[in-house]
Structure 1
Amino acid sequence: MTTVQGKEDQRSLPQTIRDQLRDEILRGVLPPGAQLRQESLAERFGASRIPVREALRQLEAEGLVSYQLNRGAVVMAMSTREICELLDIRAALETYAAKLAVPNMVAADIDVMKRILAAYDASTSPADWAEYNRQFHLALCAPANNARLRKMIEEYCLSTTNRYPHLRMSLDTEKGDVQRDHYEIVDACKRRAVDDVVELIERHILDTKREVMAAARMAGLTDQ
């Protein structure tokens, strides 16, 4: 049994449980359709049902968990078509956010993005790559100073990025390609080249869409 230390601040317990479950979902330890029973999770983490319920609620907001009739919380499965639809929406949201954000950027914003990319470079964990990718895109849109727009981007970013392992993409290749795009975006942000940033983000996301569709074809999936 994995037991969360009793001395840990109660307020961080849902986040601890959420992070562990998220990592297991991303690595495929918990596959799409797997049931997440509150009683079993509470026993596993040495916690009550309250922090478990909150952790599952947060994972539901991230698009990783859904609730089904007579089954409760399950790891959410997404079709290729659904992922591509979300990527289209994400491209529209992020390019709009860039138009608002880039004129407001200061040196500290660029530094935050660079630190995230450095951590991304150093990591060898696909689950960490998904998290650093999420952090980068949220840092990119943060100077837009629009909380509702940021929340929408966060949800779509998570619900697409976290599906890659299940489509059998080449993660090593993906990481290199994604990082090259990220560094180009940062360079354009430094130059305050709004149009360039918008073009790079749109290309970056739509290239991802093409990779998702290609991976689905290679895997013989038919829900395109």
Structure 2
Amino acid sequence: MSATRSRLPEKTGSTADWIADALRSKIIQGRYKANDPLRQDILAEQLGVSKIPLREALVQLKAEGLVAFMPKRGAVVSPLSADEVQEIYTMRIALETVALEKAILRIRPADLIRARGVLEIIDGGADKTEWGDLNWEFHATLYRAARMPLLLNAIQRLHNNVLRYLIIYLDSLSAAGISQNEHWAILEACREKNVRQAISVLKRHLAKASGNLVSFLS
């Protein structure tokens, strides 16, 4: 499990993928904020790469909704409106409930142990740069049992798109405790193989996050 992404990710895969991972982490952590310019000459020098794979990485992040190309400005960190956040959470609720429903009867004891371990790390005082990775790892550990990798990838992209704002919201309004209680309730329902309860808590968990984040952005 990746506990934190405060440092640059290891250089695995293609150069463009590595650059995308590095920039994605900075955007999610809030180090690059909405509408911040992503100047290719500066980034290429900072990362020690050429502009060709850098542009490929920026195009990849554009497809994920994290980067926009603006006339006369070039690449910038894509902002999200309250309406877009609401739409993303509507999509997340639809996709994640399907993933959990398909997964819950296939979740192994080892998956439950891993998910519990992630929650215990969060309870132990993970900071906000760690929280994003840990939050995703908890949900993904449960959803992977569905054996639907395309669905999981779609969910992760939506998750990453709002996480940069959610981390700020949780940090500023001290809402992380409520979110964590819901995580434990989801895990308990999965342990009991209670599909209806697990989906009910997950829907409430995502709907609450959507409403709070929309209010925060508004």
TM range (shorter): 0.7 to 0.9
10 and 150 in structure 1: CA distance in 2 versus 1, 3 angstrom threshold: closer
* Residues 1:121 and 2:113 aligned together: no
Q: Which amino acid aligns with 1:209?
A: S
Q: Which amino acid aligns with 1:33?
A: N
Aligned equivalent of 2:82: 80
Q: Which amino acid aligns with 2:44?
A: A
C-alpha separation between the residues in 1 aligned to 2:93 and 2:135? Answer: 15
143 and 61 in structure 1: CA distance in 2 versus 1, 3 angstrom threshold: farther
169 and 111 in structure 1: CA distance in 2 versus 1, 3 angstrom threshold: closer
C-alpha separation between the residues in 1 aligned to 2:150 and 2:114? Answer: 21
> Retained in 1: the 8 A contact 2:99–2:146?
yes
Structure 1 residues not aligned, in runs of 5+? none
136 and 165 in structure 1: CA distance in 2 versus 1, 3 angstrom threshold: closer
> Helix, strand or coil for the counterpart of 1:163?
helix
C-alpha separation between the residues in 2 aligned to 1:135 and 1:66? Answer: 27
Question: CA offsets, 1:152-191, max 9 Å, x none?
Answer: 211111112222256x554462221111111111111111
137 and 59 in structure 1: CA distance in 2 versus 1, 3 angstrom threshold: farther
> Retained in 2: the 8 A contact 1:36–1:73?
yes
> Retained in 1: the 8 A contact 2:30–2:164?
no
TM-superposed CA distance for 1:68, in Å, is 2.9
C-alpha separation between the residues in 2 aligned to 1:25 and 1:171? Answer: 18
User: Identity of paired residues, percent?
Assistant: 31
TM-superposed CA distance for 1:123, in Å, is 4.8
> Retained in 2: the 8 A contact 1:37–1:73?
yes
Question: CA offsets, 1:95-132, max 9 Å, x none?
Answer: 11111110111112112212322333345432321222
Range with bigger deviation, 130-139 or 175-184: 130-139
TM-superposed CA distance for 1:39, in Å, is 1.9
Pairing partner for 2:65 from 40, 63, 66: 63
C-alpha separation between the residues in 1 aligned to 2:37 and 2:111? Answer: 40
C-alpha separation between the residues in 1 aligned to 2:187 and 2:19? Answer: 33
> Retained in 2: the 8 A contact 1:102–1:189?
yes
C-alpha separation between the residues in 2 aligned to 1:97 and 1:112? Answer: 18
* Residues 1:188 and 2:173 aligned together: no
Question: CA offsets, 1:63-109, max 9 Å, x none?
Answer: 32223344332101000111011111111111111111101111121
Structure 2 residues not aligned, in runs of 5+? 1-7
C-alpha separation between the residues in 1 aligned to 2:156 and 2:204? Answer: 19
> Retained in 2: the 8 A contact 1:99–1:198?
yes
Aligned equivalent of 1:178: 179
TM-superposed CA distance for 1:10, in Å, is 6.4
* Residues 1:142 and 2:144 aligned together: yes
> Retained in 1: the 8 A contact 2:128–2:171?
no
TM-superposed CA distance for 1:21, in Å, is 2.9
> Retained in 2: the 8 A contact 1:169–1:215?
no
> Helix, strand or coil for the counterpart of 2:31?
coil
Range with bigger deviation, 130-139 or 45-54: 45-54
TM-superposed CA distance for 1:205, in Å, is 0.3
Q: Which amino acid aligns with 2:108?
A: V
C-alpha separation between the residues in 2 aligned to 1:117 and 1:51? Answer: 36
11 and 93 in structure 1: CA distance in 2 versus 1, 3 angstrom threshold: closer
Pairing partner for 1:28 from 19, 30, 44: 30
Query: How many residues end up aligned between the 2 structures?
Result: 210
